[in-house]
Each structure stands twice: as C-alpha cells, then as structure tokens.
Amino acid sequence: MARHLAMEEDVLFPAFEARTGNSMGPTQVMRMEHAQMRGLLQEMASAVLARNQSGFLGLSETLNMLMQQHNLKEENMLYPMSDRVLDSERDGLIRAMEAVAA
C-alpha cells in the first residue's frame, strides 16, 4: 500500500499538476484519502497490538469502504484524465513509478 501511494504522490500527481496547473482538484482529494487510509492502517496496527479484534474488524471495514470509493474515483476520473494529459510522458512516468515501487 505504501509503495502504491508513494508512486502516485511522488510521481503521478506532481506530473499531473504540472501539466494541468491544478493542484486543488482531483489530486488534492486523492491525497486527502491517502492520508485517511494511512491513519486507518495505523489504527489497525494499534488494534492488533492491543488484541482488539472488534476494533480491528471495524477499522478494516471502514478502510475497505474508503478504498472502494477511492478506486472508483481513480479508475473513472483521475486515471483517464492522466492518460489524456500525460500521454507524451507515459513511458518516463512508468519508469519513475517503477523506481519508487522497487
């Protein structure tokens, strides 16, 4: 999860924002949701350490719902927009994201 978020936040989002001149649109929403996911993952880790099964399960359900909504926004809005505006940079961006994921 951390690698996926870093690939977007460190490579894709800055490229999208540079090309569109817009840092207050979809990438801002995605970053906010990424922060929420990180927070939930931290809370889940704490629940595991505390052996709080019901707390963990509730947090995991919340994370699942957030991720489903987030993925729909990415797949139906952000990724198609990125494909359009970043087409000429695609190969370089993919290599940069692969380097982050390594």
Per-residue pLDDT of the chain (102 residues; tens, 9 = 90+): 999 999 999 999 999 999 999 999 999 999 999 999 999 999 999 999 999 999 999 999 999 999 999 999 999 999 999 999 999 999 999 999 999 988
Q: Where do the domains of the chain lie?
A: 2-101
Which of 95, 77, 85 is CA-nearest to residue 28? 77
SS3 content of the chain, % helix, strand, coil (to 5): 90, 0, 10
- What pLDDT is recorded for position 102? 86
Question: What is the reported pLDDT for 71?
Answer: 97
Give residue 101's pLDDT.
Answer: 87
Provide CB contacts within 8 A for 100, sequence distance 6+: 3, 6, 7, 10, 11
Provide the whole-model pTM. Answer: 0.92
Position 95 scores a pLDDT of: 96
Per-residue pLDDT, 97: 95
